[in-house]
Amino acid sequence: MVDQMRPLGLGRPRGPDFLPGSVRRPEEPLPPLLPFRAQPPPSAPGRGRLLLTAALVAAVVGGGAGVTGAWLTGTSQPPPVALPRSTAGPVSAPGGLGSIAAQVLPSVVSVETAGGSGSGFVIDTAGHILTNEHVVSSSVWVSVVFDDGRRASAQVIGSDEDNDLAVLAVDPGPGLAPAVLGRSGDVTVGDQVLAIGSPLGLSGTVTAGIVSAVDREVPFGAGGTRTTAVQTDASINPGNSGGPLVNARGEVIGVNTAILARRGGGSTGIGFAIPIDRAANVAERIIRD
């Protein structure tokens, strides 16, 4: 049976599924990306918890079965193996992934609305936050949660549905930490990147990968407009939408927006980010107007 995949963003579904492995002729258009709805707020314990519980039960039962089998056969358990472990402590080399994440995390926020949640990041000291339009679609006032747990009310001051971008405003204060914006024009294939956000409501999540392609033409936005995006294999899931994709210097090079996922959702290592050169121009226009 052919395993179906569908392109997903992080908003409302649009367009048909497609089959992996089929060859797209050059004259055929790419299928439109299907945005996820913003990640709904948690309610009751879900399947993930049940799976974790099942795994624990299986581990306990499996361990008991091993002991019982040994007793029945009259043999004893072998002594435990003690493998050598490093005592060097946390990796803290300059330029390491940990230092990059620590640099950027204070700039990243979780964005919460009545309809769900997503991510965003502070772009200046005036209190402006950039996110995806589909995260805050139809919302005027939203709530943002900073990396240190502070919560603030935010106003949607403008959006661009075609580019799937929106700008929020919070009261400026000493706690704001604007992200450093890089230049997506300088990005090359193979560059190391981090995706930071709140996938599935797990705030402050950091995933690593590389730039898989630049100027990847994909259809997304309100009318399925064909535009270019940065493609990455860093894990991106519902709730990452609107969060930053950063380079090895901790500079934002894109706004995480869409993924190509198997039917039922989940990351397959094919994600797309709006290039920061375009996103910054849109944000500046929104703030100016």
Pairwise pLDDT comparison (63 vs 275), residue with the higher score? 275
Query: DSSP label at 77?
Result: P
Q: Out of 117, 119, 134, 233, pick the active-site residue.
A: 134
Q: Where are the alpha helices (DSSP H) in 74-153?
A: 97-104, 133-136
Distance separating alpha carbons of residues 188 and 186, to the nearest angstrom? 7
Q: How far apart are CA 276 and CA 264, in angstroms?
A: 29
Q: What is the pLDDT of residues 213-258, one digit of tens each?
A: 999 998 766 566 788 999 999 999 999 999 999 999 999 999 999 9
Name residue 267's amino acid.
Answer: S
| Topology classification of domain 105-169 | Thrombin, subunit H (2.40.10)
Cα distances from 70 to residues 82, 276, 288, in angstroms, run 21, 61, 74
For residue range 2-21, what is the model confidence (pLDDT) as tens digits?
A: 333 444 544 333 322 322 33
Cα 196 from Cα 125, distance rounded (Å): 20
Whether 164 sits among the annotated catalytic residues: the reply is yes
CATH for 5-15+179-288, among 1.10.10.10, 3.30.365.10, 3.40.50.720, 2.40.10.10? 2.40.10.10
162 in active site: no
Predicted confidence (pLDDT) per residue in 117-132, tens digit: 999 999 999 999 999 9
Distance CA 215, CA 4 (A): 26
First-to-final CA distance of the chain: 52
Alpha carbon 222 to chain centroid, angstroms = 20
Judge whether 5-15+179-288 and 105-169 match in fold: yes
* Residue 76: burial class (beta carbons within 10 Å; 0-12, 13-18, 19+): exposed
The one catalytic residue among 107, 203, 241, 267: 241
Determine the Cα angle at 212 with ends 209 and 218, to 5°: 120
Question: With bands split at pLDDT 50, 70 and 90, how would you rate the model's confidence at 44?
Answer: very low
| Strand-pair partners of 256 | 273
Helix, strand and coil percent figures for the chain, each rounded to 5: 20, 35, 45
241 is catalytic: yes
| Selected catalytic residue, list 164, 184, 198, 233 | 164
Residues counted in the chain: 289
Task: Answer whether 241's CB lies under 8 Å from 10's CB.
Answer: yes
User: Taking 70 as the threshold, does the pLDDT of residue 52 lie above it?
Assistant: no
Q: Dump pLDDT digits (tens) for 163-222.
A: 999 999 999 988 899 999 999 999 999 999 999 999 999 999 999 999 999 999 987 665
Average pLDDT of the chain is: 78
pLDDT in tens, 142-164: 999 999 999 999 999 999 999 99
* Token output for 224: 């399925």
Q: How do the domains of the chain map onto residue ranges?
A: 5-15+179-288, 105-169
